[in-house]
Structure 1
Amino acid sequence: MNTINYKSTLYCIVILILSISTGTQYSFAQGNLSSSKVSGHVVKTNAQPIDYASVTLIKSTDSSLVKGTLTDADGKYIFDHLPAGNYLVKVNNIGYAKCYSNTVTLTENTTIELPPLQLVASTQQLQEVTVVSAKPLIEHQTDRTVINVENSTLAAGNSALEILQKAPGVTLDKDDNISLNGKQGVTVMINDKLTYLSATQLAALLRSTDGNTIQSVEIIPNPSAKYDAAGSSGIINIKLKKNKQSGTNGSLNTTIAQSTYFRDNFSLNLNHKTGKLNLFTNLSHNDGKNKHKLDLKRTVDSAGKSNTYFNQDYKMVNVRHNSQFRIGADYDLSSKNTIGVVASGYYNTETGNNNGITYLGTQPDVYTSYQHLVSREAQTYKNIAFNINDRYQIDTAGQSLSVDMDYLYYKNNGNMQYNTYFYVPSKPSAYDSLFIRNLIPSSIRIYTLKADYVYPFSKTLKLETGIKLSDVKTDNDLQAQTKSGLPGAIYENDATRTNRFIYDEKISAGYANLSKNYKNTSVQAGLRAEYTHSEGELLGGGSDIKRHYLNFFPSVFVKQTLSSKNEIGISYSRRIDRPSYESLNPFVYYVDQYTYQQGNPFLTPQYTNAYNLDYTYNHTINVSIGYSHTHDVITEAILTNVEKKTTYATNLNLSTQNYYNISFSSPFKLNKWWNGNFNAVGFYLVTKSDTLLGNQLNRGKAAYNLNLTQTFTPVKGYKLEVLGSYESSLVYGLYDVKARYFVDAGISHSFADKKANIKFAVSDIFNTLLSGVSSNYQTNHFTLRQKNDTRVARITFTYNFGNSKFKTQQHNTGSDDEKNRVKGGN
């Protein structure tokens, strides 16, 4: 089926209509109070009308807001359906002094037209104002932590993936899977939009995203019902830059870097804003060559026979070329309505040359044969995405409606060749060989429609509601081929492994969030409903998998202000992690005759209930205690087939996972030129299962992460940043993960009236960052050690050009406050 499920769609639309009707009934109730009206118009000193001026009606007794509106093209305004009382009309407009009317007294069913309200230009108006913004590197907000990487030396020349690794509480494993505070299940968004990618594809996207195009990274550990329910350990939202200044301006960024091999980055940002039209574009390209080293030792138990010992040593070199673009426009249809369009895409290529030796024997470190693996992997990743968005600011009180429509298409191609030569020490040459080729074309097509409505009942009571429809279809075609080592042999199709897997997933969602502020207390309660319909079809053999289910995801947030410096908050949310498209794919990917990877189409979603208690002192120091319980937890496992002596990676549903954590974060300022931020997370993660490999699993371990960022500004125009991070050893499912640590440092200098900046930074200065994983469970015994090219020296030059100032008379439109709407490869 290629259409949205209409029952689920209707269900979500009903949620939206019921939510909006609540606000409508409230408006009708107001309308029944009276038919009294107040009208008038706003002019300049020369009697010319002023359009789009902000006009508010306030009570004369306490200045509380009653209604708000904007003047039309003729400078006119009107307030109707007003109850009896005494009022004032207040007018605000940029570049002019505030203006008030005389007191207006209304009785029942009266109409009053006020004399013209004349605005006078402010005597303190400046012709030009230079905007200077100095945000801290790390900000702790009510529901999230924000890393302002835009001007950081640590971000310069890095990719988005490398920047995430430096964020407090964020870690990456050997396969670039992302964890938050020690727990996997993170949802990554770009400009508030889901990426809909598997872990491998997401890593490729983030690795190709130039850090110079990123404005900030938001870490949201316990999201509200407004967000998609995916992500059991929270959401990471990457915000891309978008210039908001008038005129034509932009920035040029270029980076050269050296590790074992040379790398380079280039990006160009352009923006042109005039009148009602805003145009923007971003172009970027980077080239990189990286070295990887992997050592794997494993033991295969053979029932009644001697064990087999493997010692594998792989050396890999990858070359990447990534190009991206983003172009868009915003146009003000009126003072209240802004429409925008965005087109984006990328074209990335990656080639890898691997050289590995595997020694085999019946005793440790005594090997009777070995095999030599020579492989080459060539992959291309293509993406094109289109977005149309509309934001309608209904009134100045905050009522608004926004709509987004997206189309995304990903096209990936892979050509993997594995040549394995077998040797016995007593023989002078290879006695056999195995040649495998996997051709893996795949595609992802995504449609989404999203609408969000905000209705403020009053200054302290607000309703947020909306719907979202998404349709995702993936098509993976594995063409597995083999050939003999005889001269002139050609690749032939291996029917036992060749398959095509098509997966279609449709999700219809609706949510409602109600927030209320009291004197010292704020409360937010929300409910999200998501109906999922999925179909997995394995062409060429195998059972089709069909699922459909409706889930409800409540969330509650309560914040209490104890005093001017003490705040406490509690929160609860329920979330879901659906299996990734990659892990559902039942294909078998052979590396050699003893090593392969296999998907599991029978994986089911995992569900998490998360609870948090937060304490904040002086709006800076934050302490958080959390607990979450996950059932049917999706876990990666490296397992052993004893009979075939093979080791393979797959994903399984285990019974439960309990997660306990406590975190502490605090900025500090030792003097006027030395400040920083300290973040510590302690956690205990325990995984249980009654059925894994015919035995009970109950494994957990206390662990911690430490992160210290320091910023020095001893000399004007220079800034030095140092980041140190330590991740203790931990237990995750079947895995024992080794401790990791690294230190980064960078210095920057601004010149040419702050239009130019040069930065020098070194990642992993002491070259200590490596990944180590081991497992000893039942017949599963292995130790893996992986070292990548992590020590990189970078020089980045940035030049800002064009108009860097704006007039105070500039008209602010709805697009100025609008979030970027772009998807995919940015």
Structure 2
Amino acid sequence: MIRKCFLLAVGILLTGIMVKAQVVRGKIVDASQVPVEAVTVVMQTIDSTFIDAVITDTEGNFTLKQNPDKYRLICQHLLFRTQIRECSGPDAGIITMQEQDYALAEIVIKGERPQVKVENGALVYDMTALAEKSTAGNVYESILHLPGVMEQNENISLAGAGDVTVILNGKPSSMTTEQLSNLLRNIPVSDVEKAEVMYNAPAKYRVRGAVINLVLKNMKSEDPFVRGEVGAGYSQAHYANGNGHANLSFVGKKLSVDILYSAGYNKSILNNDILSHHKIGDKIYDIEQYNKGERCNLTHNMRAAWDYHLSENSNLNVAYTSAITPDKKAVEKSSGNFSESLNSKAGDEQMHNVNMDYKSGFGLNAGLDYTYYAYPTTQDYTSRNESSVQRFLTDASQTINRWNAYVGQTHTLPDDWELNYGINFTFAKDKSLQVYRPQDGSDMSAMDTYTDLKEETYNFYGGVEKSFNEKVSFSLSVAGEYYKLMDYKKWALYPTMQLSYALSGNHIFQLGFSSDKTYPEYWTIQESVSYMNGYALLLGNPALRPSTDYTAELTYILKSKYMFNVYYSYIKDLFTQLAYQSPDKLALIYPAINYDYEENYGATITIPFSVGSFWNSQVTLDGSVFRDVCNSFHDISFDRTKFRGIAMMNNTFKLFTKPDIRLELNGMYMSSFIQGLYDISSVWNVDAGLKWTFADKKAELRLNANDLFDSYDLNSKVNYKGQNLIMNQRRDSRSLSVSFVYKFGGYKTKEHKSVDTSRFGF
């Protein structure tokens, strides 16, 4: 059945390739090769008879739905001189327009760029305009200034949608949180034309749920040149850390090549205190354990990419990416009235990825992606209490080979309908082991695990899009997925819908619905046991199920500036790890479990304002109600509800224009909330930054202070149906950092397709 569906889909795609639409395509740029938006392009016959007319998009591209043998193009724009070109064939090429000279004496025009626009169902933000109002020096920092976007536990999230996926130029970004952060921090804001925020991404993006699509600027040049960037940074938290990077890029008319290398040393602490009132039978044991952990690693990131433009709208990209962390170490010391333990873990982690991607000018996108990941580790564990000593060594490893192949096709139909469809196949093989070597004469062979997992995912999607007029746009797509992991097999459908209505330029409404499935990390679905200290241990769960979530949201945009959003989400089989006091022995276990469901509903308000040109600010308020339900958490069940409020304020002060010096001061407060049995404390933090740009904007010196008052610590309490404990977490979040970046040759970082390792590691 799967084979037949696969062959049928391939046949449909090949047919779509052969039925190439007879249209004329081209692009408008200025003298600096920057795309020009809103140019009127009129097509005439050679004897001046009108045929068709269109307006260029934000990329400067235009498509005329007629293709005569010979024709004349007239390109008009208020700020540029009119260009006339006679052409033949479907490729009109690149048309360069010269700026118009206007002499306006004693006239000053003041205006304000719109904060947000709606294009094809996406909320579109001008990243250059946002950067002008902040000290953001890279894309990652600039993303955090988008309305409703915040950073929680080093993850980028979107109010009302939870975790959000970042993609580049419409291509999925497959990477871990750490790799994503490193990549975005290496891309200057000047490289990004716009950010498209989609609460409900259409299936053609091959990702589901909330998405931020970063559209990068054109990277071609009529005159080939070489450019680059070097930079270094130093930060001081509890320990000193450092990083450096060097990038070199060749950009030509057809070919571009990128070489990147960066290295970063990171050493941090993560302390956790456990105060447990552990009940066994009728007796309660008061246990206190104070855990001090340190982690250190030096990571090397390397990348080489080759991008060849076959024609104006088609290109072939081949890239190799690697992340290598030799001698990765983690040490945790635990002391208290129950046990004294030392837990050391060391390993060599490496990831290698090769990606080939082809995009045609007639709507075809196809690619092949291969990832190799390996992480062998050795653990040295010793624990002592009043009656015994336990010591063992553990050899563990995880080796993953994953292939991903995809092909998709987009057609422009009559009356401006757009049809898209495609297939996406992923095969992964995970070979893992965990072998205990006791040093105290005990027998631990029953805890050894050897796993050979095979995972297959077949995804078929189809969708339509339509802009009925300047006021209404609509998209609907459905993804069908067949998932197989060993003996577990599951068919599922994931519909997505987006409807936008512009009552006027000052009143825009957007209604959306999406569905998605999230899979647990490979290590958590194995029958493994990992000791954290003499009292706490982690348990894997081979029966763990993927979670499915459904989200609906309604957004109102006032004056292209103020945003109001209401939302509802329902997550079936949400998986997580919750602490549980064993009723049989003095052990705090963290099993991987599925809730029955979690639901969340709430509202978000974003209000930007400015005071002259000196002070720019943005206030975001979010309030939501969480409900966590689980009827089979060991011998107890829970059904808990809690309100959570979030308030954020980002401020930028333009201290000087010459020299260009800006001060940023940001604050965040989050009220207490729940997670399963946990009652989690409120947190707040204040960050500050100072940026000096000089040397004709080629050099940048930044000073940052994060979590000034060392207040971002999440503390948890459990007091529910016999479970009674307190967990206080002390993070290494307060830091002072300084960084310097210098660009030569007008360097602009290229788009990098990232690698999905989010389910790797243990």
- Length-normalised TM-score, structure 1: 0.76
**Are 2:234 and 1:256 equivalent residues in the alignment?**
yes
Partner of 2:361: 393
Partner of 1:73: none
CA–CA distance in structure 2, aligned partners of residues 578 and 547 of structure 1:
13
Correspondence list, 1:594-743, <5 A: 594-716=535-657, 717-743=660-686
* Residues 193/157 of structure 1: CA separation in 2 closer, same or farther (3 Å cut): closer
* Residues 222/9 of structure 1: CA separation in 2 closer, same or farther (3 Å cut): farther
Give secondary structure in 1 for the equivalent of 2:743. Answer: strand
Partner of 2:185: 211
Partner of 2:287: 310
CA–CA distance in structure 2, aligned partners of residues 78 and 658 of structure 1:
47
* Residues 706/377 of structure 1: CA separation in 2 closer, same or farther (3 Å cut): same
- Pairing partner for 2:456 from 494, 506, 512: 506
- Pairing partner for 2:492 from 544, 551, 564: 551
CA–CA distance in structure 1, aligned partners of residues 219 and 84 of structure 2:
32
- Pairing partner for 1:64 from 52, 58, 63: 52
Deviation at 1:633, TM superposition (A): 2.6
CA–CA distance in structure 1, aligned partners of residues 346 and 183 of structure 2:
20
CA–CA distance in structure 2, aligned partners of residues 648 and 282 of structure 1:
43
Aligned partner letter, 1:314: N
Aligned partner letter, 1:611: A
Give secondary structure in 2 for the equivalent of 1:496. Answer: helix
**Are 2:352 and 1:384 equivalent residues in the alignment?**
yes
Asked whether the equivalents of residues 294 and 314 of structure 1 are also in contact (C-alpha less than 8 Å), the reply is yes
Correspondence list, 1:749-764, <5 A: 749-764=692-707
Aligned partner letter, 1:699: R
Asked whether the equivalents of residues 320 and 352 of structure 2 are also in contact (C-alpha less than 8 Å), the reply is yes
CA–CA distance in structure 1, aligned partners of residues 663 and 347 of structure 2:
38
Correspondence list, 1:269-348, <5 A: 269-303=247-281, 305-348=282-325
Q: Which has the larger radius of gyration?
A: 1
* Residues 634/219 of structure 1: CA separation in 2 closer, same or farther (3 Å cut): farther
- Pairing partner for 1:407 from 326, 351, 370: 370
Aligned partner letter, 1:308: Y
Deviation at 1:403, TM superposition (A): 1.4
Question: Over aligned residue pairs, what C-alpha RMSD do you find?
Answer: 4.1
Give secondary structure in 1 for the equivalent of 2:122. Answer: coil
Range with greater deviation from structure 2 (149-158 or 613-622): 149-158
* Residues 671/240 of structure 1: CA separation in 2 closer, same or farther (3 Å cut): same
Deviation at 1:211, TM superposition (A): 2.1
- Pairing partner for 2:738 from 795, 802, 810: 795
Asked whether the equivalents of residues 210 and 265 of structure 1 are also in contact (C-alpha less than 8 Å), the reply is no
Partner of 1:765: 708
Aligned partner letter, 1:406: D
- Pairing partner for 1:89 from 65, 68, 72: 72
Asked whether the equivalents of residues 135 and 662 of structure 2 are also in contact (C-alpha less than 8 Å), the reply is no
- Length-normalised TM-score, structure 2: 0.82
**Are 2:83 and 1:98 equivalent residues in the alignment?**
yes
Deviation string 1:336-395 (CA, Å, 9 cap, x unpaired) is 5321111110112421232220214xxxxxxxxxx211222213220111111112113x
Deviation at 1:90, TM superposition (A): 1.5
Aligned partner letter, 1:743: V
Range with greater deviation from structure 2 (414-423 or 787-796): 414-423
CA–CA distance in structure 1, aligned partners of residues 68 and 579 of structure 2:
69
Correspondence list, 1:437-516, <5 A: 437-458=393-414, 460-484=416-440, 494-516=444-466
CA–CA distance in structure 2, aligned partners of residues 455 and 787 of structure 1:
54
**Are 2:2 and 1:8 equivalent residues in the alignment?**
yes
CA–CA distance in structure 1, aligned partners of residues 248 and 404 of structure 2:
28
CA–CA distance in structure 1, aligned partners of residues 334 and 515 of structure 2:
45
Partner of 1:45: none
- Pairing partner for 1:352 from 330, 335, 343: 330
* Residues 526/619 of structure 1: CA separation in 2 closer, same or farther (3 Å cut): same
CA–CA distance in structure 1, aligned partners of residues 550 and 226 of structure 2:
49
CA–CA distance in structure 1, aligned partners of residues 501 and 203 of structure 2:
20
Asked whether the equivalents of residues 735 and 773 of structure 1 are also in contact (C-alpha less than 8 Å), the reply is yes
Which runs of 5 or more structure 1 residues have no equivalent in the other structure? 1-6, 32-37, 39-53, 69-76, 103-112, 127-134, 361-370, 395-399, 424-430, 536-545, 806-815
Partner of 2:532: 591
Asked whether the equivalents of residues 625 and 662 of structure 1 are also in contact (C-alpha less than 8 Å), the reply is yes
* Residues 193/562 of structure 1: CA separation in 2 closer, same or farther (3 Å cut): closer
Asked whether the equivalents of residues 208 and 515 of structure 2 are also in contact (C-alpha less than 8 Å), the reply is no
**Are 2:721 and 1:778 equivalent residues in the alignment?**
yes
Asked whether the equivalents of residues 115 and 561 of structure 2 are also in contact (C-alpha less than 8 Å), the reply is no
How many residues were matched structurally? 705
Asked whether the equivalents of residues 161 and 206 of structure 1 are also in contact (C-alpha less than 8 Å), the reply is no
Asked whether the equivalents of residues 180 and 754 of structure 2 are also in contact (C-alpha less than 8 Å), the reply is no
Asked whether the equivalents of residues 143 and 149 of structure 2 are also in contact (C-alpha less than 8 Å), the reply is no
* Residues 162/821 of structure 1: CA separation in 2 closer, same or farther (3 Å cut): closer
Aligned partner letter, 2:639: N
Partner of 1:821: 753
Aligned partner letter, 1:438: T
Asked whether the equivalents of residues 210 and 267 of structure 1 are also in contact (C-alpha less than 8 Å), the reply is no
Identity across aligned pairs (percent)?
19
Give secondary structure in 2 for the equivalent of 1:583. Answer: helix
Range with greater deviation from structure 2 (509-518 or 91-100): 91-100
Asked whether the equivalents of residues 711 and 722 of structure 1 are also in contact (C-alpha less than 8 Å), the reply is yes
CA–CA distance in structure 2, aligned partners of residues 172 and 674 of structure 1:
26
Give secondary structure in 2 for the equivalent of 1:333. Answer: strand
Deviation string 1:470-498 (CA, Å, 9 cap, x unpaired) is 112222111122212xxxx8xx8721111
Partner of 2:105: none
CA–CA distance in structure 1, aligned partners of residues 196 and 666 of structure 2:
18
Aligned partner letter, 1:763: N
Give secondary structure in 2 for the equivalent of 1:11. Answer: helix
Aligned partner letter, 2:433: D
* Residues 727/673 of structure 1: CA separation in 2 closer, same or farther (3 Å cut): same
CA–CA distance in structure 2, aligned partners of residues 688 and 651 of structure 1:
15
